[in-house]
Chain A
């Protein structure tokens, strides 16, 4: 079997395993979903029993599992009583918002991180090197929500130049589509900046360490012996080799953010996955949580899959090793 079909089967297997685990995880935690409904509305025992049948909660755990898988295959993730809408609808909307935040901040964090990492790594031991590391670590050590609050205070409250909440201005009327996009862009600045400031150290340090290691390899001396200008030496031979671990880190970072930008999304009321999960926890909205967990896991699996495929393109040695 070829590499891609085999790998795709593994991906499907992992998704299936995660789905199963996720289902049972949510069914062994204490609490009855019907009691949640009954808490807000006055229901008698008969009505509860009727609801139990209606939601498929009357059968055995295994038959419930089969129903769950069946619904999942139809794209049905259930209904959220807290949001009063289909879970899939809420989830897709949040996923889209998170994807926007994620894509912007990942591009910034990865690109600037690599650039600063190369800057420091190619000057190993210099003052510029240690200043870059210290600077990156200072921001890395700050709690994300705290950096977020500082930025909110500075840019939103003190200078009042940037919006601090939501994805668009409430009740705004847009004359053109462009002004709508600009409004989103303005709302995007602070959340992105917060993520970038804190997380950039991750990429700076990985790139730097990796580059320092590569720079001492024998083939770097060969490249130097060839009389290559320093910039060519560092980027073509050094960085090209040093980027392999950075790519793995990027995949980890992206998959971590899908469910993990919670702090930023909460601070800026950014209506993405993080905020959705946060509110669902407060509202004990198990249906949404269960689906959000599932989506996060699937994203992690897919990100790893993408890394594997990319790795084979970037490192010719990987193909042989398999």
Chain B
């Protein structure tokens, strides 16, 4: 059984006519100890999907259909106080932009100790602080800095603090939402390395969101590409990113959008146009208008996720068609 099994999940922002269906009937699974990457352009529903898992969506968002099974229990219809039991103890989040994700007026030691004290009642404050210090050491920050405040750290170090905090209760699943986006390349590499080694030490499963495909290719066991609130392609990192393997034109174009530093300098091959307006209903494939290989059918029939190989699926009528 998978640790996390999301089925047919839809999340809507707002309601009625002006409502935006940000996630539309999406499946997602994360196995025990597995690293799953979630990629796609901005606004394609990655973060919404991830935040729906422990239901950290804003007030004006709601889960309209689907189930979120975590260790066999459905989180999608749990109350806020029931979810509070699961949050951080089982599912923690490394938030996008950790620069503002730490409370400015509390010491980081107290902030890391806080979930321990909440989820493990009976733990003394001193014991929790000691564990916070151990966690800081584990992410490469001196324990003596546990009484510092977040503004006294650099961006990379705050991200390390955030990671230490995410691991505080030894969760089973860590959702890392763009954990390295705001950092420089050297720090990015360090943080990724840290995440990888910690996941082995702590036996973590991870859902890693990034729009940097090379990061996902390097780190993840499986990768899921999203477009306009739908899954475009899912498979092992090799299935999705392998030279001859990507089966969805969107993935192929995404891969071409990254410059190759070994090649001659030239304009990178972006994808013209924008993702469609999700407040309107769509017929056919959502990528059809920007797709260079679309055929008539693409504009009328919505493609299903078609099986390509054991783990590889692609939502394209021309599966494997345009190499």
Contact = CB atoms under 8 A, between A and B. Distances in A.
Interface residues of A, number: 22
B56 interface: yes
B115 A226 contact: yes
B81 A229 contact: yes
A219 B101 contact: yes
Interface string A215-232: 001110111111111101
B152 A320 contact: yes
B85 interface: yes
Contacts of B56: 221, 224-225
B97 A218 contact: yes
Interface residues of B, number: 31
Interface string B84-101: 111111001101010011
Contacts of B155: none
B115 A219 contact: no
Nearest to A222: B101
Contact of A317 (B86, B97, B104): B104
Most buried by B among A217, A219, A222, A317: A222
B103 to A, nearest CB: 5
Given A218-B95, A219-B100, A224-B56, A229 B105 contact: no
A221 B95 contact: yes
Contact of B86 (A227, A241, A315): A227
A219 B102 contact: yes
Contacts of A219: 100-104
Interface string B190-225: 000000000000000000000000000000000000
Interface in A231-268: 232, 237, 240-241
Nearest to A243: B105
B149 interface: yes
A2 interface: no
Main secondary structure of the interface of A (DSSP, over half): helix
B151 interface: yes
Interface in A288-322: 314-317, 320
Contact of A316 (B95, B105, B115): B105
Interface string B117-136: 01100000000000000000
B103 A228 contact: no
B304 interface: no
B84 A228 contact: yes
B81 A241 contact: no
B149 A317 contact: yes
A229 B118 CA distance: 9
A224 B87 CA distance: 8
A230 B80 contact: yes
Contacts of B92: 225-226
Contacts of A223: 103
Contacts of A240: 103, 105-106
Contacts of B40: none
A226 B87 CA distance: 6
Nearest to A219: B103
B83 A227 contact: yes
Interface in A187-234: 217-219, 221-230, 232
A314 B105 contact: yes
Nearest to B81: A229
Nearest to A124: B59
B88 A226 contact: yes
Contacts of A230: 80
A46 B106 CA distance: 73
A222 B102 CA distance: 7
Interface of A: 217-219, 221-230, 232, 237, 240-241, 314-317, 320
Given A218-B101, A225-B92, A237-B106, 5 more contacts: A222-B95, A226-B88, A227-B88, A228-B118, A241-B105
18 contacts: A217-B100, A218-B95, A218-B100, A222-B95, A224-B56, A224-B87, A225-B56, A225-B88, A225-B92, A226-B115, A228-B84, A228-B118, A232-B118, A237-B103, A240-B106, A241-B104, A241-B105, A317-B104
Which 10 interchain pairs have the tightest Cβ spacing? A227-B87, A218-B100, A227-B84, A316-B149, A226-B115, A219-B103, A226-B88, A218-B101, A222-B101, A225-B93
Interface of B: 54, 56, 80-81, 83-89, 92-93, 95, 97, 100-106, 114-115, 118-119, 149, 151-152, 162, 165
